[in-house]
Chain A
């Protein structure tokens, strides 16, 4: 397991690259083939992970709601999501009369593609990173804000009043909460002095930021979780698709695979924010170490780095699901109040605190 995940993947990638270079004479063709293979791997990973998350969400919900959840299709209901996907594939994708057909059909792709793009600079394990760009954090926060265009597009082109209201809510919500996310990301950037994902992970070799960074980083972490839950339109901030108010909000008119793509986008977004939170606050693929407990640290080192990363990501995903199944939904004005009157001022003050802390080197 450890071999396969930690050492296996990077040599496998270079082996494929070497084989391609040997067989394809054209340098550009090699690069393109490399990219396509990487993209397909990422796509496959994300889709499978999303199916798993769909199953996990149902089981988590069932656990909290004194019921069993899916338990008929496959062992323990594990194939339920596969069955659902097949159903959605065969459903007719209606395009309503009076809608702007081009934008209506384009919107789900924008939502999915932008959320997939954000995965590029994330370090999944030791030496396993698709694109270690020097502007990692900046790239993530700028690309993830494009999602709102897809949602606005969907709401506007649907020719449905509920969709329009949902899209407008979503626009206001995502644009506002972006600020808090940015500020809480910046607090880590201040401490590490780098936007590069690999640098941020490496800086946590002697301890995760959430432990090293005192209270300001814990505040940042909490704000990041709250704001990113809002950013990805999950309950209690799911105003854009508030079922009881707007039937299904911006995706009211979507059906079949186009609807499934919105769901896919939602789950990928959830993976993205959890992965980023795990990377910058919880040490990415870094194992958990306690001071000078050599034996303990060695045992922790033995767990593959990819499992550390997946575990941390899944933990944050579980917390986000936990929110969803226990909290009521906020009202639209309360949602904006929360951001502009509480989270944003707090993150601003917090940024100053972090800066002071970084200057005087008060962190560990």
Chain B
């Protein structure tokens, strides 16, 4: 009857435990096969595919207008940035550019989305480390931002606001005033967040020195986004390959060199401040004019490959469109940030405790549908 019977242990006497696919801290259907020695993790093996919906294959039978919408369901917290990448790839193929107004709208909404995503991440990080209260506080501020998005494009989570050539509809007349109010609210609360979680002794103990990822490892595992920037890798697509007018706004790429969970946390906290600053610069400077460049009803891209990358809340999202000249893509490939970031976990986790595994997962900021697509 004993749990530690022969059949339950590996040859080396390790205790195998399956964390997920149904587990409170995997934030979705991720399955981590974990080999334990007491509380210490010896080896970890992520098993994927529980939420694979073959979005890439589906896109091959959808037109260039339609394929954008299924990508909202990949990284659903950065839905707008996913759409943006797809739209920019089509625009690259057509050789057109969105109107200045459309670009500004997309940029602002991308930053608002980044802010909502980081706020949700902040709440979930607290939750994963056992502090329930941050989750509710983060949602209070996120709600204000989401309502601004909802008013303009009608959706709260899977926005689908971008279309080739611009955005679907013009902004709501009250957009600017509401956004300013919401952003001011977030800005005011960020210090409160620091008091609640960042400065907490237990929180620092749980995250400092945990899940170390070196500069070289971050590059060799292909990590991007806040995770790589916490290891000192400069990889912000907004700086390196500006799109939609990111070259015209002032912001700093947050780079820190700690490489542990605490640094990853701090990078995201600082990124929120940068996003707020970008929104504040742009919100009163949205150019007047059309919100949409006219395109043909049936978009046909010339034969060739078109690649576009954007910086989502989790890192670099790449969209590769292979066109054979028809009205649907011949092949679509997404380079999703979470997949590469997850792969580094096998390297970071061994030697840590179970509690650290949760902290590491939280600061990687995994969105499982983005890994499987």
Q: In the complex the two chains form, what is the Cα distance from A334 to B15 in whole Å?
A: 22
Of the 9-residue stretches A128-136, A159-167, A282-290, which lies at the interface with chain B? Answer: A159-167
- Known contacts A65-B137, A66-B136; A328 and B197 CB within 8 A of each other: yes
Nearest Cβ distance between residue A334 and chain B, in whole angstroms? 6
Cβ-based interface call for B353 (8 A):
yes
- Known contacts A66-B136, A328-B130; A333 and B353 CB within 8 A of each other: yes
Chain B residue nearest in CB terms to A242: B130
Nearest Cβ distance between residue B354 and chain A, in whole angstroms? 5
Contact of B24 among A66, A244, A328 (CB under 8 A): A244
Interface contacts (Cβ under 8 Å), in number, total: 93
**CB interface residues, B 22-51, toward A, < 8 Å:** 23-25, 39
Q: In the complex the two chains form, what is the Cα distance from A164 to B15 in whole Å?
A: 11
Chain A residue nearest in CB terms to B18: A161
Chain A residue nearest in CB terms to B128: A244
- Known contacts A242-B355, A244-B358; A330 and B3 CB within 8 A of each other: no
Q: Flag if A327 contacts B17 (CB, 8 Å).
A: no
Q: Flag if A326 contacts B355 (CB, 8 Å).
A: no
Nearest Cβ distance between residue A343 and chain B, in whole angstroms? 14
Q: Flag if A244 contacts B17 (CB, 8 Å).
A: no
Contact size range, A: 35 or more
Can you list 5 contacts pairing A with B, beta carbon distance less than 8 Å? A65-B137, A239-B355, A244-B25, A244-B358, A329-B355
Cβ-based interface call for B356 (8 A):
yes
Which residues of A approach B to under 8 Å, CB–CB?
61, 64-67, 98, 100, 156, 159-162, 164-165, 169, 235-236, 238-239, 242-247, 325-334
Q: Flag if A164 contacts B3 (CB, 8 Å).
A: yes
Q: Flag if B130 contacts A334 (CB, 8 Å).
A: no
A239: chain B residues at CB < 8 Å are: 355
Q: Which 8 A-B pairs have the closest CB atoms?
A: A329-B130, A65-B136, A328-B129, A331-B355, A244-B25, A328-B131, A328-B130, A244-B128
Nearest Cβ distance between residue B140 and chain A, in whole angstroms? 6
Contact of A244 among B1, B15, B39, B130 (CB under 8 A): B130
Nearest Cβ distance between residue A128 and chain B, in whole angstroms? 37
- Known contacts A100-B1, A165-B354, A330-B202; A244 and B129 CB within 8 A of each other: yes
Cβ-based interface call for B295 (8 A):
no
Q: Flag if B132 contacts A327 (CB, 8 Å).
A: no
**18 more A-B residue pairs beyond the given contacts A64-B133, A165-B17, A329-B206, with a C-beta to C-beta distance below 8 A:** A61-B133, A98-B1, A159-B1, A235-B130, A243-B24, A244-B358, A245-B358, A247-B24, A325-B132, A326-B196, A327-B130, A328-B130, A329-B129, A329-B355, A330-B202, A331-B355, A332-B39, A332-B353
Cβ-based interface call for B76 (8 A):
no
Nearest Cβ distance between residue A94 and chain B, in whole angstroms? 17
Q: In the complex the two chains form, what is the Cα distance from A243 to B135 in whole Å?
A: 15
A331: chain B residues at CB < 8 Å are: 205-206, 353, 355-356
Q: Flag if B355 contacts A327 (CB, 8 Å).
A: no
B258: chain A residues at CB < 8 Å are: none
Cβ-based interface call for B343 (8 A):
no
**CB interface residues, B 130-184, toward A, < 8 Å:** 130-133, 135-137, 140
B357: chain A residues at CB < 8 Å are: 245
A242: chain B residues at CB < 8 Å are: 130, 355
Contact of B17 among A61, A98, A161 (CB under 8 A): A161
A98: chain B residues at CB < 8 Å are: 1
Chain A residue nearest in CB terms to B196: A326
A332: chain B residues at CB < 8 Å are: 39, 353-355
Q: Flag if A165 contacts B39 (CB, 8 Å).
A: yes
Q: In the complex the two chains form, what is the Cα distance from A169 to B127 in whole Å?
A: 20
- Known contacts A162-B17, A244-B130; A330 and B205 CB within 8 A of each other: yes
Nearest Cβ distance between residue B287 and chain A, in whole angstroms? 38
Cβ-based interface call for B193 (8 A):
no
